[in-house]
Structure 1
Amino acid sequence: MKKPSLFVVMGVSGCGKSTIGKLLASTYGLPFFDGDDYHPHENVDKMSKGIPLEDSDRKDWLQRLNILAKEYREKGAVIACSALKKAYRDQIADALTPQMEFIYLKGTKDEILRRLEERKGHFMPAGLLDSQFQTLEVPLDAITVSIEKSPDEIVLEIIKKLPLKKP
């Protein structure tokens, strides 16, 4: 079985996907891509107005992330993406299993709400957190780590759980 070379750091908005993804990518010498950068303008506009995305809004975005992952299947990459539903994860990983590993950053609603309220300059308002948790289908086949530790400690925990040679 081929070891994963593509990693998707996932979870609800505000859980630390970008921070952890960048650290993990740096640790392994892989490129990092923030899934938010691949949303069409219409999605960003909708979320900025406090309107939750629907499955149909996410379809093209998830296809873009799958294409990106396919481009990096040999070199490897870390992608930060909410990947809230199993169907979304399946779409991102299409034709890439077993090369892709999902890493779920798990936190409580209160903890993540506090983070969102402190965050500046992001299009995703704290008011959409409830819809994120309602949409979330907790992955059963992902590496799951709590967000209660420091970013460095979280990355160390991920590394211990990854089926890869340690950096």
Structure 2
Amino acid sequence: MTGKAFYPGSFDPFTLGHRDVLRAALRLSETVVVAIGRHSSKAGMLSHDERRELIEASLTAEEVSRIEVVTFDDLATEAAVRHGCTTMVRGLRDGTDLNYEMQLAGMNGQLRPEVQTVFVPSTPATRHITATLVRQVAAMGGNVAPFVPEPVAQRLVAQHKKI
């Protein structure tokens, strides 16, 4: 696979699992568009600008040179086409993810057949990590360092000390 891949998500916060999937996508594509979804009904823990900053701070300079971080508030398939992507990358942690992602890939394939969904399995070391659980651990003052890149851990600790 070459060209541009589209990797959508909330990335609130960017986890080690997200980074593993992104790195796999970079092995498959020349460029990856990391697309932060905007949901008007969901208040995020981190602003979109903070998410962008932390994603870039969590990668090597070479990796950052091969990504574009964007936001979108429409269908992921439409955003992928708008950014010139023909592949959508989705991470899979377990069978529950697979069932949901297969439904999503089917719908996306009907909406935009020219955008092919590619599944990337999580590594065993990151399979248990979800952004939702990381948010909960951070909110309760727990140690998030095993689950997120160092810049993200520092930001979450600083943010929750303010509360």
TM bin, normalised by shorter chain, reads 0.3 to 0.5
Higher relative contact order (CA 8 A, sep 6+): 1
Quick check: which one's strand share is greater? Answer: 2
